[in-house]
Amino acid sequence: MIIGNLTRDPELRYTANGTAIATFGVATNREYTPSDSQESVESAEFHNVVAWSKLAELCNQLLAKGNKVYIEGRLQTRDWVDAETSKKMYRTEIVCEEMLVLSSPRNGESSFTSESGATGTVSQPSKSNSEVSPEVETVEQTGDIPF
C-alpha cells in the first residue's frame, strides 16, 4: 500500500488479445531526522505501477500527473535481456489491485465518464483556514458509480 503523487500521466496500451494495461509512476515522500543530526531530511521514492483490464482503463480516465493517489497491490519483478547491450535488465513494479484518487491537480476539478455512460465530477472540497484535515475529494455523480 502506498500513498503518493503521480509523476506522469498514465500510459494506456492493449495486449494482442485486447486486454488493457496502464503504466504510470508514483512518488512517495518521507521526512526523518538522522541520529547524527538535528535537522530533518526529506527523501522521495519512485514506484512503477501497472494496472490491468478495467482498472487500467479507469486509471487512464481518472488519473493525471500530480494526482495524490492510494495504490494497493503486489510487487512483481520482471527481467529481460536488453537487445542493444545484451545485459540482463530488471524492473520491479507494483501490480495495482486497488486504486483511490485522493486529489485532483486541475484547479481542484476534473470530470469523467464511466463505461456505463454515467458522468460525474471529482472535486476537492473547499477548506477553511481553521481546518487541519488531509485533502480528500468529494465525488458528485449522476448515474452509476464508475468503479
pLDDT in tens, 13-27: 999 999 999 999 999
Q: What is the pLDDT of residue 118?
A: 36
Homologous superfamily (CATH) of 2-101 is Nucleic acid-binding proteins (2.40.50.140)
pTM for this structure? 0.66
Give the tens place of pLDDT for each residue, 14-73: 999 999 999 999 999 999 888 888 889 899 999 999 999 999 999 999 999 999 999 999
Q: Domain boundaries in the chain?
A: 2-101
Q: What is the mean pLDDT of residues 124-130?
A: 37
Query: Binning pLDDT at 50, 70 and 90, where does residue 104 land?
Result: low
Instruction: Please report the DSSP string for the chain in residue order.
Output: -EEEEESS--EEEE-TTS-EEEEEEEEEEEEE--TT-SS-EEEEEEEEEEEEHHHHHHHHHH--TT-EEEEEEEEEEEEEE-TTT--EEEEEEEEEEEEEE---TTTTEEEEE-TTS-EEEEEPPP--TT-------EEEEESS---
